[in-house]
Amino acid sequence: MVDTVSNAANSPALNQPWQKLGLKEDEYQRIKDILGRRPTSAELAMYSVMWSEHCSYKSSKVHLKQFGEKTPDNNVLLVGIGENAGVVDIGDGWAVTFKVESHNHPSFIEPYQGAATGVGGIVRDILAMGARPLAVMDSLRFGAADAADTARVLNGAVAGIGGYGNSLGLPNIGGETVFHESYAGNPLVNALCVGAMKHDQILKSGANEVGDLVLLYGAATGGDGIGGVSVLASEVFDEAAPSARPSVQVGDPFMEKLLIEATLEMARAGLIEAIQDLGGAGLSCATSEMASNGSGGMRVQLDTVPLRDASLSPEEILMSESQERMCAIVDPVNLDQVLAICEKWDLTATVIGEVTDTNKLEIYWHDELIVDVPPQTVAHEGPVYNRPMQRPANQDELIADSAAKLAMPTTGAEIKADLLKLLSHANLADKFGITEQYDKYVRGDTVLSAPDDAGMVRIDRKTGKGVALALDGNGRFCKLDPYLGAQLNLAEAYRNVAMSGATPIAVTNCLNFGSPEDPAVMWQFAEAVSGLADAALEFGTPVTGGNVSFYNQTGEIAILPTPVIGVLGVIEEVGKRITRVYSNPGSKVYLLGETRAEIDGSTWAEIIHNHLGGVPPKLDITAEKLLARCMRNFAAYGIAEAAHDISDGGLLTALAEMVYDSGIGMKIEISQELAAGAMLFSESASRAIVVVPENGITAFNQLCEQLEQPVTLIGEISAEGAGLEITGLLELSYQELTAAFQTPLLPH
């Protein structure tokens, strides 16, 4: 073996900064055992980032394996967990890939760039599967609307999401924005992207053919995004290096647009053997994972990497998370064509190495070997922890503290007052101030977008085939019961997709939790993963991949456990989709599903009484699947004019939202039992409001009867007036609804 870098940093007399790089003592010792020697500075840097929680999933692997063990056999999964993103079959030769990931911590430090590069990173994951990115969504959590720092973080993050996505020409078709004090110092910025390709266009990341070339193309490499590695590079190994590299990546969406077009042109021409985007851990991740996923060998000449900062050390180049870069494996006979395409799109492209049969990742710096490691040990054989778990000491007390003890509104005036307070709260108020910053319709294939329950895009312009997506994450329910809470989150996303008339077929997730070193947090995480895996199996919707984000806490206070669940559904003809907007006076309003007095963990309890306690609503997955089946049939036969799921805020909130969106009133008449406050604000699962035109009523009732779907006629669309009237209980004018819903999200 060629001698490793012989500088002062590698002198046995100098202690290596493994602790500053986030490694534990036993992890550092394991690296030495693997190599049979002390690691070089570059190797230490590479192992430290690849063995980090973010890259290695070392605290979550033992639990995440359930997603593979409990995969339902619905014959849609083409590529599962382990690649850049999962891929599912949607029929007619089409494949769709989708994934959601977090960029939480960067978005607190620098909200605009943190959120923008979160969008850029998830788009490249989809691109790396060979798909054309088609749309994005986001799931956002901020501190209380009146908290001191919320405006800074929210305004910056929303501007970053819009600025990057709009510039890329990708529609933002929906998501959610939630405010809660637990996110004040730790916002959640979860971004989803969906893309499509034909089955024979799917790409993988494994470098298999010896002699193939390693091509780096896109933006030049800078010092952004290095984070902890700057400690290694500047404070320890090179006192002359800049001491403060930026910790948050800087994005260039126009460069990413060129990257997308060049990559797709090369892929469609069959010029790419394998591909990996450069996101977390940069070149360290791309080279080690591609080598590990393939034949196991790669040789890289690091000094050939194009730089925009000549002062970067080898360690910094390896760890840089500069955006808008891709690493492709190319057959030498195709190199000229590949370079020509990159030149056409004004992208720098450089051959930085080749695939070998050595089962080693060898990285040279000016002909000096600075990395000589088995790539599997870097990418896939890192530490695996079975962290201690303990049910929180106050969990029983929390569960016993039911919202049933709270003062319920009993009169119409009290119910109306509570409803208006709910509708004007930042969690339920109109998010127009956010969504107006996003281009929803660019590309011309958006079919549904916010505020509809699901987003929908057309995939095939000839047949009208499309996909619907929803993101949901209820932290309140997960705090009370993380197992059931995660299942309820999946059920809500599943239901939202079903409301559009699409058939839910697959799941992605972004699991946002506090520190895995806290046994109580680890218990929450394990319970949530088990709940999600069990429910996905029962729903028949495989988990295709996702992301784990730990250490989301401020000091010792963790965020609400927030597993954000994304569900994808397929619809054969997007022209038959169902929206939540109605337009025909005289149409009938039906309540589907059964309502119980389930207000524990509800939006009503939180907003009206600042209360969180008790047991979340029950979940009957059979009933949830039945409701989805009904919605599918309503769409296919054109029976339903509009539909909306019932979730946050309960029945009254859902009715108010439909009236507000439609601008036409409803006259509702309900039983005395259902008119009770606990029933009106209940968040029982498996429920929806469906508006049916006169010519569809017979078919609607027949279908519900045949499928044994519980259904109740509760009213009709008004021939005059635009407000919400609950006979004998309350009246809300459209002006009152508008005033409540259009309450500014942030105080002036």
Catalytic residue ranges = 54, 103
Query: Nearest-CA neighbor of 188 among 567, 561, 746?
Result: 561
In whole angstroms, give the CA distance from residue 297 to residue 305. Answer: 19
Q: Which stretch of DSSP H or E encloses residue 735?
A: helix 734-741
CA dihedral 343, 348, 350, 355 (to 10 degrees): -90
**Phi-psi category of 35—alpha, beta or left, where left has phi over 0 and alpha has psi -120 to 50?**
alpha
> What is the Cα Rg of the chain in Å?
27
Q: Supply the DSSP string of 133-146, one letter for each residue.
A: EEEEEEEEEES-TT
In whole angstroms, give the CA distance from residue 374 to residue 297. Answer: 8
| Other CB atoms within 10 A of residue 10 CB | 20
Contact 118, 102 (CB under 8 A): yes
Kindly list the distances between the CA atom of residue 3 and the CA atoms of 10, 16, 39, 371, 506, in Å, as whole numbers in the listed order: 11, 18, 12, 10, 50
The residue with tokens 């891929």 is 87
| Residue 41 main-chain phi, psi, to 5 deg | -60, -40
Contact 323, 263 (CB under 8 A): no
Q: Look up residue 631 and give its two tokens.
A: 């919605």
Q: Supply the DSSP string of 190-207, one letter for each residue.
A: EEEEEEEEEGGG------
Residue 597, CB-side half-sphere exposure with 13 Å CA sphere: 12
Spatial neighbors of 65 by CB under 8 A, at least 6 apart, are none
For 237-330, list the strands marked E by DSSP.
274-277, 297-301, 325-330
Q: Look up residue 358 and give its two tokens.
A: 């050595």
Contact 355, 294 (CB under 8 A): yes
**DSSP state at residue 3:** P
Burial of 306 per CB tally in 10 Å (0-12, 13-18, 19+):
middle
Amino acid at 437: Q
Contact 577, 636 (CB under 8 A): no
Q: Look up residue 357 and give its two tokens.
A: 């049969």
Pairing of strands 368-373, 348-356: unpaired
Residue 127, CB-side half-sphere exposure with 13 Å CA sphere: 29
| Other CB atoms within 10 A of residue 413 CB | 11
Query: Nearest-CA neighbor of 202 among 546, 568, 544, 570?
Result: 544
**DSSP state at residue 468:** E
| Residue 490 main-chain phi, psi, to 5 deg | -65, -45
In whole angstroms, give the CA distance from residue 724 to residue 730. Answer: 8
Q: Which stretch of DSSP H or E encloses residue 608?
A: helix 603-609
